[in-house]
Amino acid sequence: MSDTVEGGCLCGNIRFQTTKDPSYQLLCYCTDCQRISGAANFAAYGVTIESIVVTKGEPKTFDITADPGRTNSRRFCSDCRSRIWAQIDELG
């Protein structure tokens, strides 16, 4: 089994990968994550942004201010609008 984690958008125009083990895992219950997921929480794990390699396409960015006041930079596909990842500097 490969140690590479790969992902991408629904239409396949954006692809990325990382070989970094997650530095944290979380279930977030903030209203931003509830809106983005359509559920009571959002499950995620974090890697350093430097470890993510975009292998196809170029994600677009949408910045929002979450309830706690931090900026969440959401990456998404401009074609199918799939969420790709969120960059939250405070979680580093």
State the DSSP code for 16. Answer: E
Predicted local distance difference test score (pLDDT) of residue 6:
92
DSSP β-bridge partners for residue 28: 42
Beta-strand relationship, 53-56 and 42-46? unpaired
Domain-wise residue ranges, the chain: 5-91
CATH number for the domain whose boundaries are 5-91: 3.90.1590.10
Beta-strand relationship, 71-76 and 83-87? antiparallel
Predicted local distance difference test score (pLDDT) of residue 90:
66
Q: For each successive 10 residues of the chain (92 residues), what is the average pLDDT?
A: 84 94 86 86 88 96 82 92 84 58
SS3 (DSSP) at 44: strand
